[in-house]
Amino acid sequence: MPHVSSLFRVALWLTRDRAEAEDLLQETLMEALSSFHRFAQGTNCRAWLVSILYHMQSKRRRTAARLHLVSDAEERIAETTAFEPPTPQNLTDEEVLGALERLPRTFQEVVILADIEEMSYKEIASTLEVPVGTVMSRISRGRKLLRAELASYANAHGFGRTTQHQISEKEPLREP
Amino acid sequence: MQCREFREIADSYLSNELMVETNHGVITHLEQCAECRQELKARRELRGQLREAFIKSPENQLRPEFAARLSTQLHDYSLGKRGAHLVSPRGWRSSVTRTQATWLALAACLLLAMGMGLVVVRKRLVESKAPGEIAVSKPKPNDSPELNPGIPVSIVKTELAKSAVGDHRDCAIKFRLAEKPIDLEVAGQKYDPVYLNLTKAVLSQQGAAPLDAQFVEAHSCIFEGRRFAHIVLKYHGQVVSFLVTDFEPTNGVQPESGPQVITCSQFDGYKVSCFQTARHAVFIVSELPEGDNLALARALAPSVFAHIMSTENET
């Protein structure tokens, strides 16, 4: 069954409950089968399925979906990441997943859809029903937050890249 | 291109989301800047590690038994065994089976009640009306308020219909209302007694509607400051909103003994049918064909009209 593993990962992330995720996955695939005539040939089938999955989840959790907004606090946190340390290396899988888990959910969501499930910005925008610019902004902030989280962890534990200079808004590194 | 600029777009470069010209600028910069090459390498590795770790994470794996059952169910479903979808994956989780079974039982009872209601109403119609006349009739050409000035058009002319469409779109379709809806019966006690037992009034009329009109949910929500009783139905595969809100006719037109259901203008492609009582306006909004939307509204209107008028007279 193509795409099922990918859909299940997204469903599990959305629901945070294995049984709920299995229900959601099943409903999504049933819905996809019954409305397959709506699938535009030549487009990304997995992105189409993820869109249905989000729609089904919204139907299941109408209230939660309504409240699915980026809080001002989260936006403010993200805005404070102008300083960007170099991307750390030599991290374990657990450390990377832990850092992802600590991101605000709004940013986790787009990082998962873009960097793990490899959906395009346009596909993510269509799935989340937000403008492409919003997706790009969230992804950019999400990735920065993730790197900052990992860099902070690496510094605290004394590993990671140390030869890189740091970037500040005022001082460009160099201009080749 | 400066290093700072490069680092802003490096992720989009990795995702192949940059325009050709910008891509070229990135490549040119990378050829000259070892530090940015190192940063790009680190980001690529981090992304790869994140992806692999997430995908391989034990908790993100499908259970083989679930995958097998799902495969069977999808196969059955695709062969036309529509009952297959009734078997939830929760079916093999004892703690949830009871909940699922309860809902299925309720749904079965509702369907049974609707079926029996349909039989009764059809029987009554056959006895009382001319042969061939059905409860859910197609609209007549002069149903448009513009063409029929004798019917109460005041609610059509107001912004209410537009608000009803907005509520349908933002609440039932897009799920993006700013304020969380509340239980309809609670709203009935707090704000408007007409909301009490409104769901029952709507569902009690479904015997006259086609069997595939299904109840989805009922609540009270606010769109742009206006409170609605909102009953969501599914009919012919489309989401239908049944909306009731308070309204005082300004032209002094009082409703007659029964509802006069008319078609309002369309807004944003949504079809709106409506009728009014002494102090309330009722809207039926959907993306159904205009005739179907009006027919459904007419099928649901009598018992709702009676319920609202009766409550208005008591208060």
| pLDDT tens track for B157-184 | 567 888 888 888 888 777 676 777 888 8
Q: Are strands B280-286 and B271-276 parallel, antiparallel or unpaired?
A: antiparallel
The reply to whether residue A86 touches residue B39, judged by beta carbons under 8 angstroms, is: yes
Complex ipTM more than 0.85, yes or no: no
Q: Which residue of A has its CA nearest to B58?
A: A9
Mutate to test the interface with A, among B54, B184, B234 (most CBs of A within 10 A): B54
pTM (whole model) above 0.90:
no
- State the pLDDT confidence band at A32, using cuts at 50, 70 and 90: confident
CB of B209 closer than 8 Å to CB of B243: no
Interface size, chain A vs chain B, as Cβ–Cβ contacts under 8 Å: 146
Nearest by Cα to B273 from B191, B197, B161, B193? B161
For residue A128 the two structure tokens come to 């989340």
Residues in chain B where the model's pLDDT stays below 70:
78-158, 175, 177, 205-212, 249-256, 265
Contacts of A167 in chain B (CB under 8 A): 3-4, 7
- State the pLDDT confidence band at A160, using cuts at 50, 70 and 90: low
**C-alpha dihedral, B47 to B51 to B57 to B61, nearest 10°:** 170
pLDDT number for residue B50: 92
Average per-residue pLDDT for chain B: 75
pLDDT number for residue B105: 60
Q: Which residue of A has its CA nearest to B5?
A: A172
Reduced to 3 states (helix: H, G, I; strand: E, B; else coil), residue B276 is strand
Using alpha carbons only, give the angle B2, B6, B12 rounded to the nearest 5 degrees.
160
The correct answer on CATH 1.10.10.10 for the domain covering A69-163 is: yes
The correct answer on CATH 3.60.20.10 for the domain covering A1-68 is: no
CATH 1.10.10.10 domain residues, chain A: 69-163
Nearest by Cα to B155 from B281, B267, B301? B281
For residue B165 the two structure tokens come to 């469409």
CATH 1.10.1740.10 domain residues, chain A: 1-68
The reply to whether residue B35 touches residue A88, judged by beta carbons under 8 angstroms, is: no
